[in-house]
Chain A
Amino acid sequence: RKEVEQDPGPFNVPEGATVAFNCTYSNSASQSFFWYRQDCRKEPKLLMSVYSSGNEDGRFTAQLNRASQYISLLIRDSKLSDSATYLCVVSETGNQFYFGTGTSLTVIP
């Protein structure tokens, strides 16, 4: 069983739409949670951390549900520049990260 599972998509949405991604993790002892963004043929970069209380950064909202062991990312008012692959990341102990395989998003004009 994989540590982190994501729906690979692809998600194709029109500009201005709201889109949500979910991810589940297997280890209930996981401690830190993140969303990374990866553009085509580029390296992954941190989009945002996910806190237990939920957090928002502009058009992006991240939520954590520890009881159900899932993490979500909501993007409002999608822009063309949001087209990328979004990676769900979980850290259990220490400094070791587990990455999901990513969810592909294409925002269409």
Chain B
Amino acid sequence: DAGVIQSPRHEVTEMGQEVTLRCKPISGHDYLFWYRQTMMRGLELLIYFNNNVPIDDSGMPEDRFSAKMPNASFSTLKIQPSEPRDSAVYFCASNDPGTSGYNEQFFGPGTRLTVL
């Protein structure tokens, strides 16, 4: 398996623009997580899905952020409008604790977002 795939790897945009981050989880994994990592706050969970259904979005910072998972192999995180304080590395992760009982999360390479 190719692992968790994220795109783009780097994104530079201007304040006020819409940003869309994409993630393809590992095939067969039924949980998908979106995290944001900054030096000051570390790795923060934004939202996670189980079988394409959002389970907990309490970490989404505000209404400018939205996430969707239209099918088992694709998810998006959208920021509209973007602000400089959104600059961070955004990670997607997936796992499948049901079959193995072992809930290691597998992370994608991340999207490094810079909002000017």
Interface residues of A (CB under 8 A from B): 32, 34, 42-46, 49, 87, 91, 94-102
B73 interface residue per 8 A CB criterion: no
Q: How far is the CB of B74 from chain A (nearest CB, A)?
A: 19
A-B contact count (CB 8 A): 43
Q: How far is the CB of A31 from chain B (nearest CB, A)?
A: 10
- Assess whether A96 is in contact with B45, with CB atoms less than 8 Å apart: yes
- Assess whether A44 is in contact with B107, with CB atoms less than 8 Å apart: yes
Give how many B residues have a beta carbon under 8 Å from the other chain's beta carbons: 23
Instruction: Contacts A43-B108, A43-B109 given; indicate if A95 touches B103 (C-beta within 8 A).
Output: yes
* Cβ contacts A to B, 20 pairs, < 8 Å: A32-B103, A34-B104, A43-B91, A43-B107, A43-B110, A44-B107, A46-B105, A49-B104, A87-B43, A95-B48, A95-B95, A97-B33, A97-B45, A99-B35, A99-B43, A99-B44, A101-B41, A101-B43, A102-B42, A102-B43
Within 8 A of A (CB), among B67-116: 91, 95, 97, 102-105, 107-110
Docked CA distance A95–B55 (Å): 10
- Assess whether A42 is in contact with B103, with CB atoms less than 8 Å apart: no
3 nearest interchain CB pairs? A101-B42, A43-B107, A99-B43
Most-contacted residue by chain B among A46, A87, A95 (CB, 10 A)? A95
Chain A minimum-CB-distance residue to B102? A49
Chain A minimum-CB-distance residue to B39? A101
Please name all residues of chain B whose beta carbon is closer than 8 Å to the beta carbon of A32 when the two chains form the complex. Answer: 103
